[in-house]
Amino acid sequence: MSDHEQTKRPPPTPEDEADIDMLAFMAMREIHKRGGTPIPTDSHLAHRGQMVERTPGEQVEHEHNIRRDARLLSRAVAGLKFNRGRKTGATSPIRKAIARELKKSPGMKNPELWDAIAAKPPKGWEFCDNSLGRYAEASGGKNMGYKRFCNVCGVERGKLKG
């Protein structure tokens, strides 16, 4: 497999999540610890451990670099939590409601399903039927049009048939 092909990673365990958080904490602590201390000189010019004080200009540049590194690190750590995608088996509240209604009565047609779920929508969702058409919307910009609703109904019917 080439480097450019994406490999499928196993889902993270709770221990992995804890390790990610601990690494981020340790890296941030190290960045802050280095903050105002002298920096080592270039390794080929000085002996190991020899230190040189920063000039005021170098100190300003160093502090800027530390702040930038901290911002980039915090973004990278936050990104690690999301790069694995949706957890296995996670579904939307609308899909769960469709599956529940179909389990009760598998012969329901899409308009009947829409009416049944609109009568008691999942928490945070609102079903609309106006000049823009039929759609369900939730806070955070999540929307599902009637066409998508019908497609999800078909998929859920297929799952029931096995």
DSSP of 147-162: HHHHHHHHHHHHHHH-
SS3 136: strand
The residue ranges of every structural domain in the chain are: 14-82, 93-161
Find out whether 94 and 117 touch, Cβ atoms under 8 Å. yes
For residue 35, the model assigns a pLDDT of 56
- Give pLDDT, residue 64: 81
pLDDT, tens digit, 9 for 90 and up, residues 25-62: 666 666 556 554 444 444 444 444 445 566 778 778 87
Q: What mean pLDDT is predicted for residues 104-121?
A: 94
> Picking from 22-31, 73-82, 96-105, which range would have the lowest pLDDT averaged per residue?
22-31
Mean pLDDT in residue range 98-116: 94
- Tens digit of each residue's pLDDT (9 = 90 or more) over 88-98: 788 889 999 99
Distance, CA of 118 to CA of 101 (rounded, Å): 12
